[in-house]
Amino acid sequence: MRAVTFDIESISDSLVRGHIDVNEQELTVVGIHDSETGEYSSYFKEELHKLWPILERADMLIGFNSDSFDIPLLNRYYPGNLSHIRSLDLLSEVQKVLGRRIRLQALAEATLGRGKSGDGLAAGQWWKEGKRDEVAKYCIEDVRLTRELYDYALANGVLKYKDLRDLRDIKIDTANWNSAVSAMPAMTHALPL
């Protein structure tokens, strides 16, 4: 099964009551890990045409908060519909069990022993300063954390978070994560051949 773990960075000047409106965001870079090649790569907005064939051949997209943010935002640039590709949103999986959201930073620190290399606000500032490579590097690090959390949950059936002072397990049902969606090989979902 070919899985593409991904994350996006975006910028916007709008913030409504502490909530980021996907429709007000402008995509800056997409970072991915392709399980078929084992490689991490990034694509700036003007390079998205190189990303589409990779996503088109994916059996599953893996992200963090991807179903409600990354996929809807990326769909604004995609000539097809990314929601036709099976997706696994780690944040949604955690929220199903806990009934609340946990930040990627908190999961990574508790589960992997290390956190993020920055934050989205800093990435937005770097972008405005023309530090595109810094933004891409930050995005790839988030992809790496997401992929490692996915692999950890798959191997152990849990992710971890810190609740006050204690580390707690979040039991994750991974039974269907790597199951094939159909017997058909992955191929273009929405782009013309």
In a domain, 119, yes or no: yes
Give the residues of the chain that fall short of pLDDT 50. Answer: 17, 182-188, 192-193
Give the count of alpha carbons within 13 A of 81, CB side only: 2
In a domain, 180, yes or no: no
DSSP of 37-67: TTEEEEEEGGGHHHHHHHHHT-SEEEESSII
Domain of residue 63 covers 3-171
Longest alpha-carbon distance in the chain: 54
In a domain, 134, yes or no: yes
CATH number at residue 106: 3.30.420.10
In a domain, 39, yes or no: yes
Give the Cα separation of 163 and 165 in Å (integer): 6
pLDDT of residue 182: 45
In a domain, 178, yes or no: no
In a domain, 76, yes or no: yes
How many domains are there within the chain?
Answer: 1
Inter-residue contact 188 to 56 (CB < 8 Å): yes
DSSP of 110-156: HHHS---SS-HHHHHHHHHTT-HHHHHHHHHHHHHHHHHHHHHHHHH
Give the Cα separation of 45 and 96 in Å (integer): 32
Q: Which structure tokens are listed for 23?
A: 């429709």
In a domain, 183, yes or no: no
pTM: 0.88
pLDDT tens, position by position, 101-119: 999 999 999 999 997 777 6
In a domain, 185, yes or no: no
Nearest to 114 by CA among 104, 99, 128, 102: 104
Share of the chain above pLDDT 90, in %: 73
pLDDT of residue 13: 61
> How many other CB atoms sit within 10 Å of the CB of residue 4?
23
